[in-house]
Amino acid sequence: MKFLEKLIERSSRKVAQNTSRRHVLTQISKVMIGVAAVPLLPVARASEGPTHGYPGVGNQTSGLDGDPGDPTSCDYWRYCAIDGFLCSCCGGSATSCPPGTEMSPITWIGTCLNPADGKNYIISYNDCCGKTSCGRCLCNRNENDKPMYRPQANNDINWCLGTSSSVYTCSTGVLLGVAVDE
């Protein structure tokens, strides 16, 4: 213990001899100003964001009657078989691609239950292609996903092969119509 006490005493005396009180006060004030400025940074404000959905992306609606939910949330009813980044968080919407991208004509199909009316709807999942992935609102729901040997209902394939660029950007969920019960 005596060794530790002597070591601490020697090092504190050395610091006191080599630094001035003004220097210490300057350093403390710099730290205090830096800590006070943290809430002003855009990163701090973006992390507060909405209570649900993706941080920094506001709530949206599809604008259609009987279409409940937020298209920027992975829990949106149309996204029951989606796999990828949501175009509604990338500058597009649930049914349209962001500017500068094009919608792939090749799609996979899913059937989702609309909680508002209790009906099943056929949803066409189209990939938007042409820019790099936006990296926002990743959603991977595999409720009706089929194996690779049923490609029309598989969401793990890059569907950008029918466009001028095979670079994947995001995915949409286009409503095609009411599913017929057999």
Q: Which of 70, 83, 127, 145 is catalytic?
A: 127
Whether the predicted pLDDT of 26 surpasses 60: yes
Tell me, yes or no, if 108 is annotated catalytic.
yes
Higher-confidence residue: 1 or 44?
Answer: 1
User: What is the length of the chain?
Assistant: 182
Please enumerate in sequence order all residues whose Cβ is within 8 A of that of 35, keeping only pairs 6 or more positions apart, or say none: none
CA distances for 182 relative to 45, 72, 179, angstroms: 51, 32, 9
pLDDT one-digit tens code per residue, 62-87: 555 666 778 888 888 888 888 889 99
Round to whole Å and give the CA distance between 8 and 4. Answer: 6
Round to whole Å and give the CA distance between 171 and 136. Answer: 11
CA distances for 155 relative to 32, 81, 127, angstroms: 51, 7, 10
**pLDDT of 119:** 87
pLDDT one-digit tens code per residue, 152-167: 555 566 678 778 888 8
Whether the predicted pLDDT of 49 surpasses 70: no
pTM over the 0.85 mark: no
In this structure, are residues 122 and 132 in contact, taking their beta carbons and an 8 Å threshold?
Answer: no
Higher-confidence residue: 58 or 97?
Answer: 97
Q: Phi first, then psi: give them for residue 168, nearest 5 degrees.
A: -80, 135
Q: Which of 108, 145, 156, 159 is catalytic?
A: 108
